[in-house]
Amino acid sequence: MATTSIYDRLSQKREAAEALARQQAEEERVAAEAMSKMPVPVPVLPLDVGQNAFQIAGLNMRVPKGFGFREIDTTLEFAGCEVTFSARRRIAPQGLPLARAVEGYVKNLRDLHVGMTLVREAEGLLAGHEAIALDYLFTVGQERRHGRTVCAIISSGDELSRQWFEVSTLIDPDKERLADWLVAFDAMLADITAQ
């Protein structure tokens, strides 16, 4: 009977341990890869139409109870340039699908800005709710404008209180300093939180 030396047995144990470690590492890699492909759930944030506030330059202004937010139009400064920002909320009729509501919104844009060109329409999320993002171009006098609007219909608590919610921005696309604004706008919308 042939016996193996202690060095051979140690070598076999070491090789077996290395093979097991390689197998575990491969299984962990495959599991991590599978997890990275799984979509991260986005929290669905409800609207609370009776709770409104603004934060400007670090100062918080709370709107008294009983006052509902309908519309905000403001001018922001980004990279030394002016951009417009607006947010609107309206009651959405029962049974009105988002796609049809967006069609109406685009029709209103075309009525308001003759020659408006719809550049992109993409599905996405706004505060965890199904949304449609629109990019469009139009002119004001001799100046071009690029608009981006993100639209959603959000149920605020019960199915009887569906709300149309839109957030928009307009920029002068010819100003190089505004090249990063739409990226910052999208990031701002992605960071919406609820109180």
Pair of tokens at residue 142: 């001799």
pTM: 0.73
Pair 102, 165 in one domain: yes
Q: Residue ranges of the chain with pLDDT lower than 70?
A: 1-4, 35-42, 156-160, 194-195
Q: Are residues 23 and 98 in the same domain?
A: no
Task: For residue 105, give the DSSP letter.
Answer: H
Identify the pLDDT of residue 28: 84
What pLDDT score does 148 carry? 96
Q: State the CATH number of the domain containing residue 95.
A: 3.40.1000.10
Neighbours of 76 (CB within 10 A): 13
- How far is residue 87's CA from residue 167's CA, in Å, rounded to a whole number? 4
The answer to whether residues 27 and 112 belong to one domain is no
Does residue 101 form part of some domain?
yes
